[in-house]
Amino acid sequence: MREITSESAGFQTLCVRLERYIEDRSLLRLALVHRSYCAEHAGQHSNERLEFLGDSVLGFVVTDELYRSFPDLREGDLARIRADVVSAVALAPLASSLGVGEALLLGRGEEHSGGREKPSLLADALEAIMGAILLASGTERAAAFVRELTQAKIAEVSRRSVYGDAKNRLQELAAKRHIESVSYTVAEIGPDHQRRFVAEVTFAGVVGRGEGHSKKEAERQAAIFVLEALEHFGA
């Protein structure tokens, strides 16, 4: 079985991608050490303390961004957006896009069970990387890293807040137009450990498509697409 070390291709690639934010490779390596690896390597510490630190960095920066960017949103709306943005469901794809999975240091059991693609492990490692950047490079670079990673997700989730419960709003619009119901078609894609749902809905000639980690989320995204299109064209 291959051994993922600090000199692996995955680690080297990650170092290049993060070189603007962290130059301390030993600290970055620590951020990638899952506790299953420690069980097989005496004296090796896990990334859990860095994860604890990074979680605080993530929460603070996202909260600050939301507070400054949406002065008209209520506290409850801000809290809901933050919860979505900092969730493992949101963080795992970001970690995957950086190549974190290929650089993880895992024990044999975790390796064989698909640990490199598990959302919880990817999200935890990403938070640990945030903690490592804070320690190695300071607050400004850590904050810049978090902002770069989360800005698209913040925009996406905040848009949902503007539309509230998009499925209900679309159904209400259907009632006003004397349309009996709005129906969605949903398909499942991806392997079991990365299952995703794709939903489609057609309304007033607009085909809305959405994806998510649950059927409900995929349908909501499809409804948001339709509502945005109708608003854009004034329909």
pLDDT for the residue 2? 43
pLDDT for the residue 48? 97
Helix%, strand%, coil% for the chain, nearest 5:
65, 10, 25
Last residue of a domain, one of 105, 130, 163: 163
C-alpha atoms less than 13 angstroms from C-alpha of 210 in its C-beta half-sphere: 26
Q: Which of 65, 111, 127, 219 is catalytic?
A: 127
- Indicate if 184 and 129 belong to the same structural domain: no
Q: Is the pLDDT of residue 164 over 70?
A: no
Check which CATH number belongs to the domain holding 183 and give it: 3.30.160.20
pLDDT for the residue 224? 85
Distance CA 52, CA 214 (A): 27
Nearest to 1 by CA among 108, 115, 116: 108
Domain with 226, as residue range(s), is 166-233
- Indicate if 107 and 144 belong to the same structural domain: yes
pLDDT for the residue 204? 85
- Total domains in the fold of the chain: 2
Domain membership of residue 3 (yes or no) is: no
- Indicate if 87 and 131 belong to the same structural domain: yes
Q: Is the pLDDT of residue 174 over 60?
A: yes
Q: Is the pLDDT of residue 1 over 50?
A: no
Last residue of a domain, one of 147, 163, 179: 163
Distance CA 143, CA 91 (A): 16
| Average pLDDT along the chain | 89
Domain membership of residue 42 (yes or no) is: yes
- Indicate if 102 and 29 belong to the same structural domain: yes
Report the Cα–Cα distance between both ends of the chain, in Å, rounded: 58
Distance CA 146, CA 58 (A): 6
Distance of CA 14 to the CA centre of its chain: 18
Per-residue pLDDT tens digits for 203-216: 988 899 999 888 98
Q: Is the pLDDT of residue 6 over 50?
A: no
pLDDT for the residue 160? 64
- Indicate if 136 and 179 belong to the same structural domain: no
Domain membership of residue 193 (yes or no) is: yes
Last residue of a domain, one of 139, 163, 187: 163
- Indicate if 55 and 39 belong to the same structural domain: yes
- Indicate if 47 and 89 belong to the same structural domain: yes
Distance CA 11, CA 2 (A): 14
Percent of the chain with pLDDT over 90: 61
Per-residue pLDDT tens digits for 81-117: 899 899 998 999 999 999 999 999 999 999 999 999 9
Domain membership of residue 97 (yes or no) is: yes
Check which CATH number belongs to the domain holding 135 and give it: 1.10.1520.10
- Indicate if 121 and 218 belong to the same structural domain: no
Distance CA 228, CA 235 (A): 10
pLDDT for the residue 3? 45
pLDDT for the residue 161? 62
Domain membership of residue 55 (yes or no) is: yes
- Indicate if 29 and 114 belong to the same structural domain: yes
The pair of three-digit structure tokens given for residue 91, joined into one six-digit string: 């963080």
Active site (annotated) includes residue 55: yes
pLDDT for the residue 217? 83
- Indicate if 131 and 172 belong to the same structural domain: no
Q: Which of 55, 117, 156, 211 is catalytic?
A: 55
Domain membership of residue 18 (yes or no) is: yes
Alpha-carbon distance values, 14 to 35, 195, 230 (Å)? 20, 25, 42
Nearest to 130 by CA among 139, 120, 121: 139
Nearest to 127 by CA among 157, 156, 155, 87: 87
Distance CA 210, CA 198 (A): 6
Confidence category of residue 184, pLDDT binned at 50, 70, 90: very high
What number is the average pLDDT over the span 171-178?
86
Domain membership of residue 53 (yes or no) is: yes
What number is the average pLDDT over the span 46-55?
98
Alpha-carbon distance values, 170 to 72, 136, 232 (Å)? 24, 48, 15
Domain membership of residue 1 (yes or no) is: no
User: Which residue spans within the chain are E strands per DSSP?
Assistant: 184-189, 196-203, 206-212
Per-residue pLDDT tens digits for 124-137: 999 999 999 999 99
- Indicate if 199 and 144 belong to the same structural domain: no
Distance CA 142, CA 140 (A): 5
Distance CA 194, CA 212 (A): 11
- Indicate if 64 and 155 belong to the same structural domain: yes
User: Residue with structure tokens 């002065």?
Assistant: 71
